[in-house]
Every structure is written in C-alpha cells, then in structure tokens.
Amino acid sequence: MMWDVSATVSHFTLSAYFDIGLFKYLVFLFLMCVYIVIISSNVLLIVVICVNRSLHEPMYMFLCSLFVNELYGSTSLFPFLLVQILSDVHTVSVPLCFLQIFCLYMYVNVEFYNLGVMSYDRYLAICHPLHYNTQMSFNMVFRLTALLWGLSVIVIVLMITFNANSELCGNIIDRVFCANYYVVKLSCSNATASNLYGLVYTFSVLFSLAALILYTYVKILQVCFSGSKQTRQKAISTCTPHLVSLLNFSFGSFFAVLQSRFDMSRVPNILRIILSIYFITCQPLLNPLLYGLKLNKIRLICRNLFISQK
C-alpha cells in the first residue's frame, strides 16, 4: 500500500495561515499577478529559444531547461496558494501533500543541478574554448539535461518512499505548503533511515555539486584577471546573470532550510511566510529578467519580436 499514512491521518492542516480579513483578496490579486508574470515571461523565453536557430547553442538549451523548471515549480505552488488564501479551512489530503512535496523538491533539485551544469558549460567555454564544441556537443547537452531531470526524479521518489509508509502521530504542518521535514517530524516510527538518506545525499551530491560550481568560478575568475580586456568583458557578460541567479537561489534555499530546522516562533508570521516562499517566487521572476536583459542575443530577438508586432 503506497499511502499507509492514510490509515492514521487522512489530511494535514496547514497552520501557518492566519486571518487577514478582506486583505486576503488583495493578497490573492497580488499573487495572481505574480504568477501571470512568471508564466508569460518564462513561456516567452522558451518560445524565443526554441524557434530561433541562432539560439540552438548549449548555453541557451540549458537556459531553456531552467525556464521550463521555473514554470513547473511555480505551477506546483501558486495555484495551491491561491486556493488556500481564499479558503477558510486550510487542509490538504495526504496524497496531495506528498504530490506537492514531490513537485517542490523536484523543482529545487532540478534548479540546483541545472545551475551546476550551466557553471560547467561556462567553464568549458571560457577556460577551454578550443575544445568547447567537441566536449559540449548536442549529444552531451541532451545527456546532461536528461541526467539532471532523471536524477532528480529518482532522488525525490526515494525520499518520499521513506516517508509514505510511515505511521503519523499528528497532522499539523506549520507552513503554508507541505514540506518533507515537517512530515518526518510527525512520524511515530523511527526516522533514522530518512535522516540518514538526507545526510548521505546532502554530502555526496549537493556538496560535491557546490564544490564543482565553486571550482568553475575560481577558474573563470583566473581567466578574467589574466586574459585580455575582450575576454574579461565576455566572461563577465555571460557569467554575471548566472552568478546572480545562483546566489539568489542559494539565499532563498538557505532561509527555507533555516526556517525548518530552527525555532522561528519569534519571527512575525507574515515574514515567515515570505521567507518560506521566496525561493519559489523570486527565482522564477528573476531569471527571465536577468537572462532576457543581460544576454545580447535574447534581448535583441525579444526587442525585434515586439517591435515587429507594432
């Protein structure tokens, strides 16, 4: 039986919501506008990259994967938030809760893997330009993209498997959406296996990827300082959006982890909610703006597209 937790708990209550009266309609409209901007901007850039042959290069194909993930991640949260804001009862069924955990954690993993692959791509392009076309071929781009999505699915399915058959001793989740750590805390059974899996995965995969990203940027900076002015300008123009995106995502993820691991009861509710959804709100908004404005090819194509429509 996949959802054995349903034998003891039929639903979870999301206790982080609080009554704001008629202001909930303003919050609903604001989040709806944010969601519309996220969808339209990311879809626009996906279409621009797919239909223009000049953008069928490794860097832009990885960007396309990143924008697809922004659509996927925001869609797994925003419709749910919008319904919960207007609802007077903030509950979610057990299967839907685990589905949301899968979608959100899948988004986080794909985002981090994708940013790591993009760091490696920029490292090859700047530090080994003569070998770039042979090492970053179309087949390699396809394999890396398939790997980062496929590995994310495997990792999250394994994580949920440890918890889906657990017996729960409660159903209160102190967040505005479902989170794996809070479900583990509600487990009556021993959570050693789940915690051990999380530690092994964190140190073996996430820290290794973080080390790879750090290494690539150290090497890129060395080339920037030792190369010509033209090389330095090219490196800065292509790496700045990626570095800002990486820092923003790390910043949001840090606050999400901080909130789940430490007592945040003294922090105002509204600030806790903002920090908990920051990584899934600002990242999908920021990336299209960063890459759309900073990368010349995308900016020129988008500008010509809108000018030709007038």
Give the chain's largest Cα–Cα span.
66
State the pLDDT confidence band at 69, using cuts at 50, 70 and 90. Answer: very high
State the pLDDT confidence band at 144, using cuts at 50, 70 and 90. Answer: very high
Instruction: Answer yes or no: is pLDDT of 206 > 80.
Output: no
pLDDT tens, residue by residue, 152-202: 999 899 888 877 777 777 888 888 888 888 888 887 766 667 777 777 777
pLDDT tens, residue by residue, 222-241: 877 776 777 677 677 777 78
- With tokens 């330095």, the residue in question is 232
Domains belonging to the chain, first-starting first, are: 4-309 (1.20.1070.10)
Distance, in Å, from the CA atom of 244 to the CA atom of 259, rounded to the nearest integer, reads 23
Distance, in Å, from the CA atom of 246 to the CA atom of 111, rounded to the nearest integer, reads 9
For 113, the token pair is: 């893997």
Q: Which residues pair with 172 in a beta bridge?
A: 13
Strands of 134-198, DSSP E = 172-173
Q: Is 12 helix (H, G, I), strand (E, B) or coil?
A: strand
To the nearest whole percent, how much of the chain has pLDDT over 70? 90
Instruction: Answer yes or no: is pLDDT of 5 > 60.
Output: no
Average pLDDT along the chain: 83
Instruction: Answer yes or no: is pLDDT of 42 > 90.
Output: yes
pLDDT at residue 171, rounded to an integer: 84
- Helices and strands: H and E segment counts in the chain: 11, 3
Distance, in Å, from the CA atom of 72 to the CA atom of 77, rounded to the nearest integer, reads 9
Least confident of 44-48, 62-66, 110-114, 199-203: 199-203
